[in-house]
A = this chain, B = another copy of it.
Amino acid sequence: MKLYVSSASPYVRKVSIVVREAGLAARIEEVVASVSPVAPNEQVSRDNPLGKLPVLIADDGSAIYDSPVICEYLDSLHSGRKLFPAAGPARWTALKLQALADGLLDAALLARYETALRPERLRWPEWIAGQKLKIADALDALERDVDLLGGDLTIGNLSVACALGYLDFRFADDAWRTGRPKLDAWLAEVSKRESLQATIPKG
């Protein structure tokens, strides 16, 4: 299989962690690519019309996206403990945590595009404030419900770890740990895993 990657993408990191946890690294060839909402990458867009990373090219040549679909597909290819619980409350908790983490990341990316990509004279402070409020509310919910993050690694808690890692990478000045000691302690513990250590974002 072939996986389009970027070392700065938190959605790619989710997939890279699943690859490692599922023992599939030897079957994946990584292809480094660069994408931007205002500078499309033709190679990526041929396989994913949305022009986003990650994209997985399966062994039959078909392209799979977005990151939740790639992660669930890869999780179906191994016989070890599953990262996607099969059914029932554990599945809904894991999928909802993934949605919360990915939604936090969507807000963080939009805030970053506004400050790192858009020309300065066209920036809208209310837009940035609105996205940062989503991030803060999501972090507060995770601090409150930190017990949901415990236990075995799932697609839910690993997505949260990627979201928090991205905030450390791109929004360190916002100091998300302040007032959220339980979430901070949880991240420190889960980050000891080899799959997380091996995928720390770099730009």
A residues near B (Cβ < 8 Å) are: 36-40, 45, 49-52, 62-66, 68-69, 72-73, 76, 87, 92, 95-96, 99-100, 103-104, 107, 118-119, 122-124, 126-127, 129-131, 133-134, 137-138, 140-141
Contacts and interface: CB of A to CB of B under 8 A. Distances in A.
Contact of A134 (B50, B68, B100): B50
A130 B69 contact: no
Q: How many copies of this chain does one complex carry?
A: 2
Contacts of A104: 50
A107 B141 contact: no
Contacts of A40: 130, 133
Contacts of A119: 124
A127 B96 CA distance: 30
B96 A51 contact: no
